[in-house]
C-alpha cells in the first residue's frame, strides 16, 4: 500500500500541471516549472529574510532574472559593489542608532530601579554598586575568588523576563567564580554554603553596553536568585 501511495505521488508530480489549493481554499493550476520557481524563491527569501529587509523586492527579482538569463546588467559590478557597501553602512548606522536608544532606555530604567530598591528593607548596597538581599543565611564556608561553586540560579530582566534558569531545568551547575560576570562573582562572595540570596546587578557589573545575544539588551540591570549548594577550593 505504501509503495502504491509513493508511486501515485511521484506520478502526480511528474505531470505538466499541478493542482494547488491555497490558504483561502482556492484551487490553482500551474506548471511544474512555475511551482518549482515559486518554491525556490520562497526558500531563498525565507533563508535570507534578514538580509532582504528594506530591499525593493521587485528590483531584487529583476536583478535575479537578469543574471539568470545572462543579460547585461544596468549597473556594472563595480557600481554594484559601491551601492551595496553604502547600503550596508546605512543599515548598520540605523541599527546602531536603534541600539543606542535601547541602551539609553535600559540605563534610565536601571538607575531608577536601583535607586528605589536601595531604600527597601533588607537590601544592602556595596561600594561597587551591587545590591543584594539575603533570603536564607547559609552555615557553611564562603567562596573566594578562586573557588569553584555549585549553585542553582535564575536570572531575570527588570520586566520579569527569565533569560536563564538552572532552577527551571532542575539541574544545578558547577562553575568557577572567576568565569562569571563581575556582579555575580561579587555577590557569591557574600554568601555561605546553604544560603540563598537575590542580587541586583547594575549593567556595569553585568554585560555592560554590549549585552548578551538577543536575551539581554545593552545596559541591562539584572536580577539573580542564587542558592549556594557547595564550595570547592
With b meaning 16 or more CB within 10 Å and e meaning fewer, what string describes 11-43? eeeeeeeeeeeeeeeeeeeeeeeeeeeeeeeee
Q: Average pLDDT for consecutive 10-residue bins of the chain (233 residues)?
A: 41 48 58 81 84 82 86 86 82 80 95 97 96 95 93 96 95 95 96 97 95 91 97 88
Q: Is 153 a catalytic residue?
A: yes
Residue 229 is a catalytic residue: no
**pTM above the 0.85 mark?**
no
> Which pLDDT belongs to residue 25?
57
Confidence at residue 130, expressed as pLDDT on a 0 to 100 scale: 97
Mark whether 224 is an active-site residue: yes
- 87 noted as active-site residue: no
163 part of the active site = yes
Identified catalytic residue from 164, 210, 225, 229: 164
Q: Which of 151, 201, 207, 223 is catalytic?
A: 207
Q: Which class does domain 111-232 fall in?
A: alpha beta
Q: Where are the domains of the chain?
A: 15-68, 111-232
Amino acid at each position: 500500500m505504501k509503495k502504491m501511495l509513493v508511486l501515485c505521488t511521484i506520478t502526480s508530480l511528474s505531470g505538466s500541471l499541478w493542482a494547488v489549493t491555497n490558504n483561502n481554499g482556492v484551487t490553482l493550476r500551474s506548471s511544474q516549472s512555475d511551482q518549482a520557481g515559486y518554491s525556490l524563491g520562497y526558500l531563498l527569501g525565507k533563508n535570507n529574510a534578514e538580509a532582504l529587509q528594506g530591499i525593493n523586492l521587485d528590483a531584487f527579482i529583476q536583478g535575479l532574472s537578469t543574471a539568470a538569463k545572462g543579460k547585461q546588467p544596468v549597473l556594472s559590478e563595480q557600481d554594484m559593489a559601491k551601492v551595496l557597501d553604502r547600503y550596508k553602512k546605512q543599515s548598520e548606522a540605523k541599527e546602531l542608532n536603534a541600539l543606542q536608544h535601547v541602551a539609553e532606555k535600559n540605563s534610565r530604567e536601571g538607575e531608577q530601579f536601583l535607586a528605589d530598591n536601595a531604600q527597601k528593607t533588607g537590601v544592602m548596597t556595596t561600594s561597587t554598586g551591587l545590591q543584594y538581599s539575603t533570603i536564607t543565611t547559609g552555615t557553611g564556608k564562603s567562596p573566594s575568588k578562586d573557588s569553584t561553586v555549585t549553585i542553582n540560579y535564575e536570572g531575570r530582566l527588570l520586566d520579569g523576563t527569565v533569560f536563564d534558569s538552572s532552577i527551571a531545568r532542575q539541574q544545578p551547575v558547577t562553575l568557577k567564580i572567576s568565569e562569571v560576570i563581575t556582579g555575580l562573582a561579587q555577590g557569591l562572595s557574600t554568601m555561605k554554603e546553604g544560603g540563598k540570596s537575590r542580587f541586583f546587578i547594575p549593567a556595569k557589573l553585568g554585560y555592560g553596553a554590549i549585552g548578551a545575544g538577543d536575551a539581554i539588551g545593552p545596559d541591562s540591570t539584572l536580577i539573580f536568585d542564587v542558592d549556594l549548594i557547595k564550595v570547592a577550593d
